[in-house]
Amino acid sequence: MGNQEDQIKAFVKEELEIFGGPLYMPEAIQEAAEEKTQLSSEIKSLSDFNDAIQNCMNCPLGKTRTSFVFGAGNPDADLMFVGEAPGEKEDLEGVPFVGRAGKLLDDILKAIELSREDVFIANVLKCRPPDNRDPNKDEIEQCEPYLLKQIELIKPKLLVALGRISATTLLRTKDSLTAMRGQVFDYHGTDMVVTYHPAALLRNPNWKRPAWEDFKKIRAMYKEKRGESA
Ligand code: URA
């Protein structure tokens, strides 16, 4: 048996055969095994990936969450939205964007003739930060690889970062939303545009007009990338 990964797999298999259930594993081996499973190149489907990371305890949010909010929508979507983190309702239901902001996102999607079934919706963080505070550095470090793996599996043609926090986190910038809107960024090889977070539009309805301009462009880019006429 050549490498560490094979050894871990053989160990896990043997333990499963013997005990048929929960395993006893020295902590270091268990951690290594989990790490390998979660981002393993052997995971080829989104639902397998969801199963593999559902019980993530990589950061302290694992202890405070009600649900791990993987994301929802079409596993083959060409358009993928990335919000900040689950809020209270999302944490309770395990589904992203189901609160008031989510209802607005549904309406916006409808206005550009799309639905949740056409797109994939995820967040930078999969677990709710207490009191909806901003994601911290450790949480982002632990969670962003999950987003990258989701993108690898879904292969969207266009990413839309919803809101300043999502965009500045992913693009490692301190730019304002105004500066980022209208630009096309490269996020690990996939085109990414930035627009308002729907919750911000609820707080400030004056932003609905420029947001609508953004979404018309998003729709045009999406159609173009799919080779469809506008
Ligand atoms: N806000 C987000 O950024 N994501 C959600 O899932 C809900 C609200």
pTM of the prediction? 0.85
Segment 33-58, tens digit of pLDDT: 456 557 878 899 999 999 999 999 99
- Is any ligand 1 atom within 6 A of the Cβ of residue 139? no
| Residue 198 in contact with ligand 1 by CB distance below 6 A | no
| CB within 8 Å of 145: residues ≥ 6 apart | 39
Residue 22 is predicted with a pLDDT of: 45
**Is 80 exceeded by the pLDDT of residue 17?**
no
Q: How far apart are CA 1 and CA 165, in angstroms?
A: 45
- Ligand 1 centroid, distance to 208 Cα (angstroms): 18
Angle at 154 between CA 153 and CA 159, to 5 degrees: 125
The single-letter DSSP state of residue 207 is: G
Question: Strand locations in the chain, DSSP E?
Answer: 72-73, 79-83, 120-123, 158-162, 185-187, 190-195
Domains recognised in the chain with CATH numbers: 4-225 (3.40.470.10)
**Measured from the CB, is residue 91 less than 6 Å from ligand 1?**
no
Q: How confident is the model at residue 1 (pLDDT cuts 50, 70, 90)?
A: very low
